[in-house]
Amino acid sequence: MQAELPNRALAHFVLLAAILPLPGCWTAPRSDLQPPGEPRIVADHIRVRSVVDPTVVHAVSAQARTLSLVFARRPSPGVYSVGPAVAGLKQVKPGERIRAVLLDELSVCVLHAGAPTTIAGVRIDPDARVLSADPAYRLLVIQYPDGERETFKVDLDVKLGAIQAGDAVVIRPVELVALRQRN
């Protein structure tokens, strides 16, 4: 029995020595990578839903049923059509802070860093970069220039295997699905 104790202690030491270096092998995902290849669109028309709380109302058009929202992480306001289920649009005023459920459309592109890029004659100004794409769980994680991250669950038809860390993301506003005024 006493001979087993040194062997067991040795086995634990060997196991510990093998496990300790493993955490050093993992590296955090990075969005500043440069994907290979010529500038091109990798995936387009990816519809995503997100909750933005708070966001600031920039302008309201009750007649046209549009709402312009200012986001901390995006350089310019996004103009959204207001969905049919949204009531009380006439009570919303510019400068007001609201909680918004938004439908956006993403395009993922390969762009050369630091150079203005046009694809098919259209100038591409990315809003974010891909941090990671997980085809198994259908998760797309993007990182904005200010370092904020956002995770989207995407539809089954989105080919996440073609999307790589560092790809540029262009966000187009589509629809305001719901809103709640903040007190």
Q: Looking at the whole model, is its pTM more than 0.85? A: no
| CA-wise closest residue to 118 among 127, 106, 126, 128 | 126
Tell me the two tokens of residue 177. 């699905």
Q: What are phi and psi of 57, to 5 degrees?
A: -75, 125
Look at strands 168-181 and 78-82 and give their pairing: parallel
Contact 6, 142 (CB under 8 A): no
End-to-end Cα, the chain, rounded Å: 71
Tens-binned pLDDT, residue by residue, of the chain (183 aa): 455 556 777 776 776 666 666 655 555 666 566 777 788 889 999 999 999 888 999 999 989 999 999 987 776 789 999 999 998 888 999 999 999 999 999 999 988 766 667 777 777 788 899 999 999 999 999 998 888 899 999 999 999 999 999 999 999 999 999 998 876
